[in-house]
Amino acid sequence: MMKKKVFTLVLFILVLAECMGICIPAYSREIDRRNEQIYYQRFEQEYKEKLRDCLEQFYCKNSGINLTSVREADGTRNYIVRIHHRHIESMTSDQKGELLKAVGEIRLFSGQPDVTVTFL
């Protein structure tokens, strides 16, 4: 009878330890993912502000900016930037080229990821 209680207690402790061994690393990875997300959001917000400043110089104040982050399997990030403004639609191809060049010179962060810019 005593052996059965000890066996049950030991089994319970082992199952509890196994559950903790699974749950704690998963929780830790979630915290790391959130911290990484917050880290990149700060750079992305600064990048959008720089884009807005650049667009204002080309008379495109209050442009619609859509910044999409694509995370590759190896962990690298690529970005797709879509910019919409009525004034861009009426620009000549040379003016659009100048705007694209100016926007392309803005850096998201060091170790620049691929950034694809399109005008809608």
Each residue's pLDDT tens digit, 20-51 = 666 666 667 777 788 888 888 898 999 999 99
CA torsion through residues 106, 109, 115, 120, sign: negative
Q: Look at residue 53 in the predicted model and tell me its pLDDT.
A: 94
Say which residue, 19 or 98, is predicted with more confidence.
98
Strand pairing partners for 69?
79
Q: What is the CATH number of domain 2-119?
A: 3.30.300
Confidence class of residue 14 from pLDDT cuts 50, 70 and 90? confident
Each residue's pLDDT tens digit, 47-60 = 999 999 999 999 98
Contact predicate 65/82, CB 8 Å: yes
Q: Look at residue 83 in the predicted model and tell me its pLDDT.
A: 93
Which candidate, 79, 81, 58, 57, places its Cα nearest to that of 69? Answer: 79
Q: Is the pTM of this model over 0.85?
A: no
Which candidate, 77, 102, 73, places its Cα nearest to that of 88? Answer: 102
Q: Look at residue 84 in the predicted model and tell me its pLDDT.
A: 92
Q: Name the percent of the chain lying above pLDDT 70.
A: 87
